[in-house]
Chains A and B, each alone.
Chain A
Amino acid sequence: MTADQLSLTFSALADPTRRAILARLAGGEASVTELAAPFTMTLPAISKHLKVLERAKLISRGRDAQWRPCRLRAEPLQDAEEWIERHRLLWEERFDRLDDYLSEAQARGAKSQEDHHD
């Protein structure tokens, strides 16, 4: 996966309406009119959101001319999740080492205090 694809994915996800569309499509495919329901005047904005999602390969659209059903595509989301997971692991390791350091530092501190009392 290219960094560019990752940017497309995160940028497509950085909008609450587009996330709502993806959440809706997780439950099954839907047409643009179903996604725009219940008000026809939202159709142009929904069309634009679908274009962004399609460019980011987060959805694909069927060929049927009148219906063009939208389907969720999982691959870019999995790639984004892997990216987040890699960073989570990196930080987990760093925090583990910090944790070890703090335990040692406290133990040393306690010991030097004991030595002092003696």
Chain B
Amino acid sequence: MINPKTTATPAGERELLIEREFAAPRELVFKAWTERDRLMQWWGPPTWPIDYCTVDLRVGGAWHYRMRGPAGEEGWGKGVYREIMPSSRLVYSDYFSDEDGTEIPPEAIAEIDFVDRGGTTLVRNKTTFASGEHREQVLGMGVVEGMSETMDRLDEHLAAVAAG
């Protein structure tokens, strides 16, 4: 039985480490994070799911999506891939963007390691913010809540895939 809890730990000067173990092989967790049809099923907090998504999985390529809020609002997000090691590591620049994909700075860098734990997968998600002040601001604004809820959705997605 895996503890489903997501842990969040501030690290270094301007980093935030978020960890969660998933009951699925890392190949599958990596696919969930990088394939458009899978991302559509879980990315975004439950109150802000995505309803549009494109993925161009190559270094310099981008992942562009629209989130839909509880009052019907739109929020566009974009991740520009910096490093892709299939099934083991993914690094991207994380931004808000507009509909056309124009990035709205500042960026945050997400480094995600998919660690094989003998059938289960530990996801170590390190986000580096523009500054320590920026990290504190984002923590105060509820980033851990949003990430935890999103990780819960990934957990449910992986369970649904396993159940076939």
Are the CB atoms of B96 and A37 closer together than 8 Å?
yes
Contact among B96, B129, B147 for A33, CB-based, below 8 A: B96
B140, CB-defined interface residue at 8 Å: yes
Say if the beta carbon of A43 comes within 8 Å of chain B: yes
Q: Are B69 and A43 in contact (CB under 8 A)?
A: yes
> Once the chains are docked, how many angstroms separate the CA of A31 from the CA of B106?
17
Q: A33-B75, A61-B71 are in contact. Are A40 and B96 (CB under 8 A)?
A: yes
Binds B, one of A63-71, A83-91, A94-102, A105-113: A63-71
Q: Is B140 within 8 A of A44, CB to CB?
A: no
Majority SS of interface residues in chain B? mixed
Say which residue of B72, B95, B134, B141 sits within 8 Å of A46 (CB atoms).
Answer: B141
* Residues from chain A with Cβ under 8 Å of B142 in the complex: 17, 42, 44-46, 48
Instruction: Indicate whether A38 reaches chain B with its CB closer than 8 angstroms.
Output: yes
Please give me the residue from chain A that is nearest to B144 by CB atom. Answer: A41
Q: Which of B14-72 contact A (CB under 8 A)?
A: 44-48, 67, 69-72
Q: Are A36's CB and B75's CB within 8 A?
A: yes
Q: How far, in whole Å, are A16 and B82 apart by their CA atoms in the complex?
A: 35
> Is A41 a contact partner of B147 (Cβ separation < 8 A)?
yes
Given contacts A44-B45, A47-B47, contact A65 B72 (CB under 8 A): yes
A residues 1-53 touching B (CB-CB < 8 Å) = 16-17, 31-33, 36-48
Q: Mark B127-164, 1 if CB is under 8 A from A, else 0.
A: 00110001000101111011101100000000000000
Partner of A40, one of B47, B67, B73: B67
Q: Mark B93-124, 1 if CB is under 8 A from A, else 0.
A: 01110000000111110000000000000000
The smallest C-beta distance from B141 to any residue of chain A, in angstroms, reads: 4
User: Contacting B73 at CB < 8 Å: which of A31, A38, A42?
Assistant: A31
**Chain A proximity of B103: nearest CB distance (Å):** 10
Residues of A within 8 A of B138 (CB): 38-39, 42
A61 CB to nearest B CB, Å: 7
Chosen A-B contacts, 10 in total, with CB atoms closer than 8 Å, are A32-B75, A33-B96, A36-B75, A38-B134, A39-B141, A41-B143, A44-B46, A44-B145, A44-B149, A65-B72
Interface residues of A (CB under 8 A from B): 16-17, 31-33, 36-48, 61, 65-68
Chain A to chain B: the 9 pairs with minimum beta-carbon distance, closest first:
A45-B142, A41-B146, A33-B75, A42-B141, A44-B45, A40-B77, A66-B74, A43-B48, A44-B47
